Amino acid sequence: MQTTSTYKILVVDDDPDIVELLHYNLTKEGYEVEQAENGKKAIDTAVAFKPDVILMDVMMPVLDGIAACRQLREMPEFRQTHIIFLTARAEEFSEVAAFEAGADDFITKPIKPRALLSRLAAYARRDAQQEGLDEVIEIAGLRIDRTSYAVYKGDEKIILPKKEFELLAFLAAKPNKVFSRDELLNNVWGTDVYVIARTVDVHIRKVREKIGEEYIRTIKGVGYKFNTD
């Protein structure tokens, strides 16, 4: 687990005042920070900088944040990178679009530095908790390897984005136990991270598309379970 001083954060926003605010607060906290003013520059900078966290605006010129996130998630080296969207658009459809693109979190403007720093610390705690779990789960024909964030189904290797993988691993660690959406949000995203309950549905659907429909069962009116029946 990296310490704050070794964490690399890429700030992506076309508003120089926001970039300056975030750069000041993050470097003061001990983070190593780079910046970009649009999605295209963000991708180029990410390849060279290799950030642990990307804080990215949604509405930007040249290439918006949603499109940039999709492109980053297609690159193996950024499938586990935390991507947090920054936006003034608080409508639910914007948040769903962000998670569809592969975002981990969603923060509305105006940004409160203390709240943002708390959010980043929450990710660090979640990462630390993951270290104490079994490295490999073998169940129902799947092999879930926490060290490589890979899922093996027979001879097929399936790479999932970070939150999709953590959601699958959490459910598989307690097969046939039903979890509500709120329980999944608290255990996978953490209590310090605000996301809507529909986020779980989006991630479950994307996991099913990649590993098969049969592994995660919907319990109507309750939630989800990893199915071994």
Query: The tokens 């092999």 sit on which residue?
Result: 143
Interatomic CA distance for residues 128 and 120, integer angstroms? 13
Tokens 């039903």 correspond to 178
* Cα of 68 vs its chain's centroid, Å: 14
- In a 3-state reduction of DSSP, which class is residue 132? coil
Q: Is 24 left (phi over 0), alpha (psi -120 to 50) or beta?
A: alpha
What tokens appear for 196 in the block? 């809507």
Structure confidence at residue 179 (pLDDT)? 94
**How many whole angstroms separate alpha carbon 165 and alpha carbon 183?**
16
* Domain-wise residue ranges, the chain: 4-130, 133-226
Q: Do residues 91 and 119 make contact, with C-beta atoms less than 8 angstroms apart?
A: no
User: What is the percent of the chain with per-residue pLDDT over 90, rounded to a whole number?
Assistant: 55
- Judge whether 40 and 132 are in contact, CB under 8 Å: no
pLDDT in tens, 39-75: 999 999 999 999 989 999 998 999 999 999 999 999 9
Average pLDDT over residues 135-154: 90
Q: Is the pTM of this model over 0.75?
A: no
d(CA 41, CA 34): 11
Q: Name 16's Cβ contacts closer than 8 Å, sequence gap at least 6.
A: 37
Say whether domain 4-130 belongs to CATH 1.10.357.10: no
* Cα 13 versus chain centre, distance: 19
pLDDT tens-digit series, residues 126-136: 666 665 556 88
Tokens of 59: 């509405």
Average pLDDT (86-111) is: 78
Cα–Cα distance between 33 and 4 in angstroms, integer?
12
What is the chain's mean pLDDT, rounded?
A: 87
Separation of alpha carbons 126 and 188, rounded Å: 8
Asked if the domains 4-130 and 133-226 are classified in one and the same CATH topology, the answer is no
Query: Which residue has better confidence, 1 or 147?
Result: 147
Mean pLDDT of 148-174: 91
Mean pLDDT of 212-218: 95
- Tell me how far apart the alpha carbons of residues 84 and 40 are, in angstroms, rounded to a whole number: 17
Task: Say whether pLDDT at 1 is over 50.
Answer: no
pLDDT at 90: 59
- Residue owning tokens 């879930």: 144
Architecture of domain 133-226: Orthogonal Bundle (1.10)
Q: Does the bond joining 110 to the residue before it have cis omega, within 30 degrees of 0?
A: yes
Q: How far apart are CA 163 and CA 181, in angstroms?
A: 14
Residue 10 Cα distances to 40, 54, 85, angstroms: 13, 5, 12
